[in-house]
C-alpha cells in the first residue's frame, strides 16, 4: 500500500513538473513601440511610384521554445492596423486611398494566423511560413506569408517580410488621381518589420 502511495506521489510530481515546463515554454509576445517597427504599402501609377507608411499598430503572438532562445513553433498570431494610420505625405493620395479601402466602414486591416511552420536558419534566425486570414476592406483571403524572424539575447523577436497583393482580390478599385490623369496599378506590396517582446506567460 505504501509503495503504491509513493508511486502515485512520484507520478503526480513528475506530471506537475512536466506541465510547468510546458507552460514556461509558451509565452505571449506583444508588438512594442520601437524605432525599428514599420509597415509599408507601395505600388505603381501612371505618373510615379507611391508608398504609404504606418508605425502604429497592435498584435500579439504565442511563440513556443524548445529551449531558451530556441524558437520551435508559433501557435497563434494576430495583427491589426487602422487604415487611417497609413500615411503617404500627400493628403490627396491619402484621401483617395482611404476612400478606395472604404475606411469609414472597414477601419482596420487585420491578419489572424491559422497555422505556421518554423524552420531554423542561422543561429537565432528562423523562417516562418505563416498561413492565415488577411482582411482588407472587409474582404478576407487566405494567404501564406514568409516571415524572417530573429531572436536576440534578451528574447525580443524581430519579424520582417514582404508580400505581393492585388487590390482587386479584396474588392478594392485601384484609386485614380488628378481627374483620372494618374491611375494606380492593381499590384501592391506589403513590407513589414514587427518587434515582439515577451508579455505574460500562459
Residue 139 sits in a domain whose CATH number is 2.40.128.110
Residue 9, pLDDT > 80, answer: no
Q: Which domain holds residue 63?
A: 27-201
Confidence category of residue 179, pLDDT binned at 50, 70, 90: low
- 3 within a domain of the structure (yes/no): no
- 58 within a domain of the structure (yes/no): yes
Mean pLDDT value across the chain = 84
- 22 within a domain of the structure (yes/no): no
Residue 144, pLDDT > 50, answer: yes
- 14 within a domain of the structure (yes/no): no
- 79 within a domain of the structure (yes/no): yes
List the grid coordinates of 30. 506583444
- 171 within a domain of the structure (yes/no): yes
Asked which of 15-24, 83-92, 147-156, 167-176 is least confident by mean pLDDT, the reply is 15-24
When divided into structural domains, the chain yields a total of 1
147: which strand partners?
128, 161
> What are 79-95's pLDDT values in tens digits?
999 999 999 988 888 99
Q: What percent of the chain has pLDDT over 90?
A: 61
| Cα gap 103→159, rounded to integer Å | 27
List the grid coordinates of 74. 508559433
For the entire predicted model, the pTM comes to 0.81
Amino acid at each position: 500500500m505504501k509503495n503504491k502511495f509513493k508511486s502515485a506521489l512520484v507520478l503526480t510530481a513528475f506530471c506537475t513538473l512536466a506541465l510547468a515546463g510546458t507552460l514556461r515554454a509558451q509565452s505571449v509576445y506583444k508588438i512594442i513601440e520601437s524605432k525599428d517597427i514599420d509597415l509599408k504599402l507601395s505600388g505603381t501609377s501612371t505618373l510615379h511610384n507611391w508608398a504609404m507608411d504606418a508605425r502604429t499598430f497592435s498584435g500579439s503572438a504565442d511563440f513556443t521554445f524548445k529551449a531558451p532562445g530556441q524558437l520551435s513553433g508559433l501557435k497563434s498570431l494576430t495583427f491589426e492596423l487602422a487604415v487611417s494610420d497609413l500615411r503617404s505625405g500627400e493628403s490627396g493620395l491619402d484621401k483617395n486611398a482611404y476612400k478606395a479601402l472604404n475606411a469609414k466602414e472597414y477601419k482596420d486591416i487585420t491578419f489572424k494566423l491559422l497555422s505556421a511552420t518554423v524552420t531554423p536558419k542561422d543561429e537565432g534566425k528562423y523562417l516562418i511560413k505563416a498561413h492565415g486570414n488577411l482582411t482588407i476592406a472587409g474582404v478576407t483571403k487566405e494567404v501564406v506569408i514568409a516571415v524572417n524572424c530573429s531572436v536576440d539575447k534578451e528574447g525580443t523577436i524581430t519579424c520582417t517580410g514582404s508580400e505581393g497583393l492585388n487590390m482587386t482580390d479584396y474588392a478594392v478599385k485601384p484609386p485614380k488621381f488628378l481627374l483620372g490623369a494618374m491611375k494606380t496599378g492593381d499590384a501592391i506590396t506589403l513590407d513589414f518589420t514587427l518587434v515582439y517582446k515577451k508579455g505574460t506567460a500562459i
